């Protein structure tokens, strides 16, 4: 045995201590790595869950949680085509309107009402209801089935308040300049008044808090726009 050679028992103890140190280090690294992996899974899972709840098109974000009743359903089913006709009217301002304020207001109407349409569609989907209802002969407003708002004779369709007739729409399409501005202002005033009436009905008879909040917004926004349109009409 040389001077540097340890007794067999000492070598065994040293080997055992070394193994213990290596094992402890391995456990420490695994714990650190495992924590990172778990954090990554938690955060990743959270992000995935949030993404799923917001997609597609923010459907869940636009949902109307809580109880609802027939008035809520009818409000959405009628207001969707009502808003769609307002978008159709506003789109006609491009290339036809002359008044700068009419152009601005048409753009504002489009920007406000298109997202509201998507919200109401998401409600109906979540509620398991169709986007349009069959004609309800007992309803004061009728169905929300036609986005054009016209019947076979070209009159205001579905009984929905403020909806343009087919003839009104054709006249608006044919108008230019100041003639268009006047027709647009008057037709949109009538259209908005109809929307306000429907929204007031929802405020009184609806049950769903989210739907009633939108009804309040419709009343506030469109009442203000009616005042603006009346002032425009007064100076044209």
CATH code at position 86: 1.20.1260.10
> How much is the pLDDT for 132?
85
Domain assignment of residue 230, yes or no: yes
| Domain count of the fold of the chain | 2
> How much is the pLDDT for 63?
79
pTM: 0.66
SS3 sequence, the chain? Answer: CCCCCCCHHHHHHHHHHHHHHHHHHHHHHHHHHHHHHHHHHHHHHHHHHHHHHHCCCCCCCCCCCCCCCHHHHHHHHHHHHHHHHHHHHHHCCCCCECCHHHHHHHHHHHHHHHHHHHHHHHHHHHHCCCCCCCCCCCCCCCCCCCCCCECCCCCECCCCCCCCCHHHHHHHHHCCHHHHHHHHHHHHHHHHHHHHHHHHHHHHHCCCHHHHHHHHHHHHHHHHHHHHHHHHHHHC
> How much is the pLDDT for 14?
52
Which residues in the chain land under pLDDT 70? 1-62, 134-159
**Are 182 and 220 part of one and the same domain?**
yes
**Are 95 and 204 part of one and the same domain?**
yes
> How much is the pLDDT for 64?
84
> What domain range includes position 140?
70-235
**Are 7 and 122 part of one and the same domain?**
no
**Are 19 and 86 part of one and the same domain?**
no
**Are 9 and 83 part of one and the same domain?**
no
């Amino acid at each position: 045995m040389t001077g540097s050679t340890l007794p067999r028992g000492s070598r065994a103890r040293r080997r055992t201590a070394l193994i213990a140190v290596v094992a402890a280090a391995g456990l420490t690294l695994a714990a650190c790595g495992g924590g990172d992996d778990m954090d990554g899974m938690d955060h990743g899972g959270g992000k995935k869950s949030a993404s799923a709840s917001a997609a597609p098109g923010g459907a869940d974000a636009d949902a109307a949680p809580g109880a609802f009743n027939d008035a809520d359903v009818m409000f959405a089913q009628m207001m969707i085509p009502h808003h769609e006709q307002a978008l159709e009217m506003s789109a006609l301002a491009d290339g036809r309107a002359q008044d700068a304020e009419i152009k601005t207001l048409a753009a504002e109407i489009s920007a406000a009402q298109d997202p509201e349409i998507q919200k109401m569609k998401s409600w109906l989907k979540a509620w398991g209801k169709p986007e349009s209802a069959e004609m309800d002969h007992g309803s004061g407003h009728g169905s929300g089935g036609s986005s054009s708002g016209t019947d076979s004779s070209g009159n205001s369709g579905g009984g929905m308040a403020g909806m343009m007739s087919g003839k009104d729409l054709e006249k608006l399409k044919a108008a230019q300049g100041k003639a268009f501005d006047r027709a647009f202002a008057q037709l949109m005033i009538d259209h908005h008044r109809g929307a306000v009436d429907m929204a007031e009905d929802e405020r009184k008879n609806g049950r769903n808090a989210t739907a009633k909040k939108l009804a309040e917004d419709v009343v506030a926004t469109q009442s203000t726009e009616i005042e603006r349109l009346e002032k425009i009409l007064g100076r044209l």
